[in-house]
Chains A and B, each alone.
Chain A
Amino acid sequence: MISKVEKRDRSMDKRTTISRPTEGAAGKTGSWRDQKPVLDQKKCKKCLRCWIFCPEGAIVRKEGDAVEIDYEYCKGCGVCMKECPFKAIIMVREGEVYENQEECAKEEP
């Protein structure tokens, strides 16, 4: 999608202040996080509620509606955890070791 916009005529750029679509326009917002959502793929029923409610769009919807958290940009609000009907997402303190850490990591592709 971004590439489509990139192809536009840029001849006016020097004369006007036109901003261009940029992922991370405010930087790598993952660094804002003090709590981190951790997804247990075994509990996930692919209902996509976390995907649609994530304000940041940091839940990536993949083929077959599996979901994955984009930690580069996730701001750690916890909305996904609260809205998951199957309790497949927990919040852990950023940097802390949590239960099932290894198992979750294994599940994450």
Chain B
Amino acid sequence: MAIKDLPKDEYLLKGNAACPGCPASQALRVVLKALGQNTTMVVPACCTAVIQGIYPKSAFNVPLMNIAFEAAAACASGIKAGYKAQGNDDTNVLVWAGDGGSYDIGFQALSGAAERGTDMIFICYNNQMYSNTGVQRSGATPYGASTTTTWTGKLEHNKDLSEIMIAHHIPYVASACVSYPEDLYAKVQKAKSIRGFKFIEILAPCPPGWRFPMESMVEQGRLAVESGMWALYEVENDKMTFTGPSKGILEGLRQRKPVVEYMKAQGRFSHLFKPGNEGKMKIIEQHLDVVWDRYRKQSSCLK
């Protein structure tokens, strides 16, 4: 799959309210190219609920339903049931939620829909914090990152939602990143071809939230993957496959870039470079070893 093979169609229209350099809007363009016109979106409270525009205008060229923060997957379950009652089993029902709406506040509805096996795709664009309300910590915020509710750096490691979704025994779970659009496109296409509950998580480096220059948005995602701070993989019917640079890292064919290369451009980690915080850096590096160790064990079991 080359960039040239991606369709020209755009379903997120130009002139929307996203910040310049917004990773969510770039990912949405790619995701909707893969899903096409016959798609209905459900969006809980998050930046995308702003990006979509204010009545009577919508920045999306597919039907989209706004719903309360907690309820996205429940709402999508209802939409799917409604379509089915009308004899329509083809329309892609897509939940598009931030990490707040999936890791934390939306988790109960997400877990419920996954357990019921409702035929839908749930995508979490993970910018590792509550951006829309001014950068508060979320369950996806990594250790050490500064947010407006963790000024001196978060003291807990992020949880790993994709791992939790693998434990739901759903037919498809994937982890992607905005910086690898062909990989993301292929994963969404695969999810579209599978019946049942599909979960995809996309790392979305947010310039104002992570505090880096907006032109580096794609570069930050690339550094996250190359340093192993994010991994690209998919789990299809309990078969785990790593993709892109993550495959090489897993197989020991390439070294992870030093995490400082990933962290140094981001204001949210700048305090870690001050004297006295060496211990915190060590904690991040040690945790990364634990994560990759587990990936290795997992991928050798899930063959």
Q: Could you tell me which A residues sit within 8 Å of B by CB distance? A: 1-2, 4-5, 17-29, 32-33, 47-49, 51-58, 61, 65, 70, 72-73, 75-79, 81-83, 91
Contact = CB atoms under 8 A, between A and B. Distances in A.
Which of A17, A55, A72 gathers most chain B CB within 10 Å?
Answer: A55
Contacts of A76: 20
Nearest to A5: B61
Given A20-B56, A55-B18, A56-B18, 7 more contacts: A2-B13, A17-B55, A17-B56, A19-B53, A25-B13, A26-B15, A78-B214
Contact of A57 (B23, B29, B37, B58): B29
Contact of A65 (B4, B37, B207, B217): B4
A1 B38 CA distance: 12
Main SS class of interface, A? loop
A82 to B, nearest CB: 4
Interface in B56-93: 56-61
A22 B25 CA distance: 16
8 contacts: A19-B56, A20-B57, A28-B15, A55-B21, A56-B15, A77-B215, A77-B217, A79-B214
Given A4-B37, A48-B4, A57-B10, A21 B58 contact: yes
A22 B13 contact: yes
Contacts of A24: 13-15
Contacts of B10: 1, 57
Contacts, number: 131
Given A28-B15, A52-B181, A77-B21, A82 B56 contact: no
A61 B58 CA distance: 23
Contacts of B215: 77-79, 81-82, 91
Contacts of A83: 218-219
A83 B6 CA distance: 18
A25 B4 CA distance: 28
B183 to A, nearest CB: 12
B299 interface: no
B57 A58 contact: no
A79 B21 contact: yes
B297 interface: no
A25 B21 contact: no
A82 B218 contact: yes
A75 B20 contact: yes
A1 B216 contact: no
A65 B55 CA distance: 35
A56 B217 CA distance: 13
Contact of B57 (A22, A54, A65): A22
Contacts of A21: 13, 58-61
A43 B19 CA distance: 29
B282 interface: no
B13 A23 contact: yes
Interface string B208-238: 0000011111110000000000000000000
Contacts of A79: 21, 26, 214-215, 217-218
Contacts of B16: 25-26, 29, 56
B57 to A, nearest CB: 4
Given A4-B37, A73-B14, A22 B59 contact: yes
Given A17-B55, A25-B57, A54-B26, A77 B3 contact: no
Nearest to B219: A82
Contacts of A49: 3
Nearest to B2: A48
A20 B26 CA distance: 21
Interface string B144-166: 00000000000000000000000
A19 B25 CA distance: 19
Contacts of B30: 52
B274 interface: no
Interface in B167-209: 181, 207
